[in-house]
């Protein structure tokens, strides 16, 4: 312990501040606190002016919107806060650090999405522009409706033979024709009456003998002659 104590005592102690240095530090601290107090008072006065401006401007029922000049973000935040407290709507437009500003509206006169989009783009917006946009949308809807009416109806083929031929050969005839073309499990689509052999036995045998004679004569004519 004695050795440690001697080492600590031998170490250089931090230099003590002079009275002049202590006074300088105190003065700087007071200046910082003063500037902070002044800034708070300035922001409070600005908020009071904004609230007073809201009360006087929107007291007239004709006034539905109030535009502020471009300002820094901290002042814009005060405008937004004051507008919310007053039951108003506020929107910021423009480029931050360049021309960012605030518009305040009555809730019953809230801006439409078209106005917000136009102002965010930096485009002009007034009653004339609004009416032009409404008219443009009306014309677009009208063109779409006309295009839908010009579109041909989807063709649905008629697979019912009775309906298909009824207007050509009459309803009764169409029914008979359709009945004859009904599917037959044994003969397909051909009526079975058309496939019956109505010849007599004698006629059938005579036809067979005639076919044989015709075949024999044909083969005889095809035998080549020997000219040796």
- At residue 228, the pLDDT reads 44
Instruction: State the residue range of the domain holding 200.
Output: 155-204
Cβ atoms of residues 124 and 115 within 8 Å: no
d(CA 180, CA 174): 10
Spatial separation of the C-alpha atoms in residues 173 and 168, rounded to whole Å: 9
Judge if 139 and 34 occupy the same domain: yes
**pLDDT of 187:** 46
Task: Tokens 């502020």: give the residue.
Answer: 68
Asked whether residue 38 is domain-assigned, the answer is: yes
Residue 194 lies in a domain: yes
Domains: count for the chain: 2
pLDDT of residue 13: 60
Are 43 and 141 members of one domain?
yes
Alpha carbon 16 to its chain centroid, in Å, reads 72
**45 and 134 belong to one structural domain:** yes
Q: Is 7 part of any domain?
A: no
Q: Are residues 172 and 140 part of one domain?
A: no
Same domain, 54 and 142: yes
Would you state the structure tokens that stand for residue 18, as one six-digit string? 């002079």
- 93 with 56, same domain? yes
Q: Which residues of the chain have pLDDT under 50?
A: 185-188, 225, 227-228
Token match 């109030």: residue?
A: 66
Q: At what angle do helices 19-57 and 73-85 cross, to 10 degrees?
A: 50
C-beta of residue 118 within 8 angstroms of C-beta of residue 124: yes
Query: Domain for residue 15, yes or no?
Result: no
Half-sphere exposure of 100 (CA within 13 A, CB side): 15
- Give the global pTM: 0.53
Pick the last residue of a domain from 105, 135, 150: 150
The verdict on 162 and 118 lying in the same domain is no
C-beta of residue 68 within 8 angstroms of C-beta of residue 90: no
In this structure, are residues 89 and 106 in contact, taking their beta carbons and an 8 Å threshold? yes
| Phi, psi dihedral angles at 188 (to 5 degrees) | 80, -140
145 and 69 housed in the same domain? yes
Q: Report angle CA 147, 151, 155 to the nearest 5 degrees.
A: 170
**Do the domain assignments include residue 178?**
yes
Whether 51 maps to a domain, the answer reads: yes
165, β-bridge pairs: none
- Looking at the fold, whether 30 and 138 belong to one and the same domain comes out as yes
Q: Give yes or no: residues 114 and 198 share one domain.
A: no
- In this structure, the answer to whether residues 104 and 179 fall within a common structural domain is no
Report yes or no on 142 lying in a domain: yes
Same structural domain, 51 and 145: yes
Quote the pLDDT of residue 221.
67
Q: What is the token pair recorded at 73? A: 């973000």
The region that residue 130 occupies, defined by phi over 0 for left and psi between -120 and 50 for alpha, beta otherwise, is alpha
Q: What CATH number does the domain containing 58 carry? A: 3.30.1370.50
220 within domain boundaries: no
Strands 89-93 and 65-67: unpaired
């Amino acid at each position: 312990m004695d050795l440690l104590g001697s080492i600590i005592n031998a170490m250089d102690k931090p230099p003590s501040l002079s009275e002049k240095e202590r006074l300088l530090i105190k003065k700087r601290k007071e200046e910082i606190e003063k500037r902070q107090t002044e800034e708070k008072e300035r922001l409070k006065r600005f908020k009071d002016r904004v609230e007073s401006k809201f009360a006087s401007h929107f007291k007239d029922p004709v006034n539905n919107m109030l535009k502020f000049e471009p300002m820094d973000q901290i002042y814009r935040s005060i405008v937004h806060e004051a507008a919310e407290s007053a039951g108003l709507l506020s929107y910021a437009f423009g480029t931050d650090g360049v021309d960012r500003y605030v518009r305040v509206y009555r809730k019953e006169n809230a801006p439409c999405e078209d106005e917000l989009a136009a102002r965010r783009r930096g485009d002009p917006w007034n009653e004339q522009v609004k009416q032009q946009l409404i008219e443009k949308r009306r014309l677009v809807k009208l063109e779409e409706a006309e295009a839908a009416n010009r579109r041909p109806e989807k063709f649905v083929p008629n697979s019912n033979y009775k309906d298909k031929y009824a207007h050509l050969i009459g309803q009764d005839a169409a029914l008979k024709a359709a009945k004859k073309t009904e599917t037959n499990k044994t003969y397909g689509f051909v009526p079975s009456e058309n496939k019956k052999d109505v010849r007599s036995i004698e006629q059938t045998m005579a036809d067979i003998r005639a076919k044989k004679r015709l075949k024999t004569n044909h083969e005889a004519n095809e035998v080549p002659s020997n000219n040796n």
